[in-house]
Amino acid sequence: MSRIGSEKRAEMTEEISEDVNLMAELSARSLAPGEVSDSLRPRIEELGLWRNVEELREQGATVVTDAVPLDLLDELRTLIHEKIETHQVVGAGAGHAAGVAECAMLLGNSVVDRVVTLPKLLAMWEFSAGKGMRAGTMAGTVLQQSEGEFIGVPLHADHAWLPQPFPEHNCVATICLPCEGMTEEEGATRFIPGSHLHRRLPSPAETAEAKSIPLVVPKGGFAMWTGSTWHATGVRTVPGVRTLLHASCQRLYTQPVEDYTHLLRDEAYLAAAPEEIRGLVGADLFFGTKSSEGLVPDPEKVVKSLLMAQQ
Ligand SMILES: O=C(O)CCC(=O)C(=O)O
Ligand SMILES: [Fe+2]
Q: Could you give the CA distance from residue 287 to residue 283 in angstroms, rounded to a whole number?
A: 9
Collapsed DSSP state (helix, strand, coil) of residue 286:
coil
Average pLDDT of the residues in 166-186: 98
Q: Could you give the CA distance from residue 96 to residue 118 in angstroms, rounded to a whole number?
A: 26
Average pLDDT of the residues in 174-188: 98
267 CA to centre of ligand 2 in angstroms: 32
pLDDT > 90: percent of the chain? 80
Element (H, E) at 190: strand 190-191
pLDDT at 156 exceeding the cut of 80 = yes
Position 218 scores a pLDDT of: 98
pLDDT at 298 exceeding the cut of 90 = no
Omega cis (within 30) before 165: yes
286 CA to centre of ligand 2 in angstroms: 29
Q: Each residue of 90-114: pLDDT tens digit?
A: 766 555 677 889 999 999 999 999 9
pLDDT at 180 exceeding the cut of 70 = yes
Position 29 scores a pLDDT of: 83
* Burial of residue 178, with CB atoms counted within 10 A of its CB: 0-12 exposed, 13-18 middle, 19 or more buried: buried
Q: Which atom of ligand 1 is nearest to the CA of 231?
A: 7
pLDDT at 133 exceeding the cut of 70 = yes
Position 13 scores a pLDDT of: 67
Ramachandran quadrant class, 83 (left: phi over 0; alpha: psi -120 to 50; beta: rest)? alpha
Position 9 scores a pLDDT of: 67
Q: Are 263 and 108 in contact (CB under 8 A)?
A: yes
Collapsed DSSP state (helix, strand, coil) of residue 41:
helix
Closest ligand to Cα 232: 1
Ligand 1 test: best mutation among 233, 245, 249, most atoms within 8 Å of CB?
233
Cite the DSSP H helix spans in the chain: 3-29, 41-46, 50-58, 70-87, 110-116, 119-129, 204-209, 261-264, 267-272, 276-280, 299-309
26 CA to centre of ligand 2 in angstroms: 32
pLDDT at 148 exceeding the cut of 90 = no
Question: Comparing C-alpha atoms, which of 111, 163, 135, 165 is closest to residue 273?
Answer: 111
pLDDT at 1 exceeding the cut of 80 = no
Q: pLDDT band for position 87 (50/70/90)?
A: confident
Mean pLDDT rounded to a whole number for the chain: 93
Ramachandran quadrant class, 94 (left: phi over 0; alpha: psi -120 to 50; beta: rest)? left
Residue 247 pairs with which residues in a beta bridge?
Answer: 138, 175
Q: Which atom of ligand 1 is nearest to the CA of 176?
A: 9
Position 89 scores a pLDDT of: 74
The pocket of ion ligand 2, defined by CB under 5 A, consists of 158
pLDDT at 81 exceeding the cut of 50 = yes
Q: pLDDT band for position 188 (50/70/90)?
A: very high
The domain 29-289+296-309 belongs to what CATH superfamily? q2cbj1_9rhob like domain (2.60.120.620)
Buried b (16+ CB within 10 A) or exposed e, 282-292: bebbbeeeeee
Buried b (16+ CB within 10 A) or exposed e, 115-130: bbbbebbbbbbbbbbb
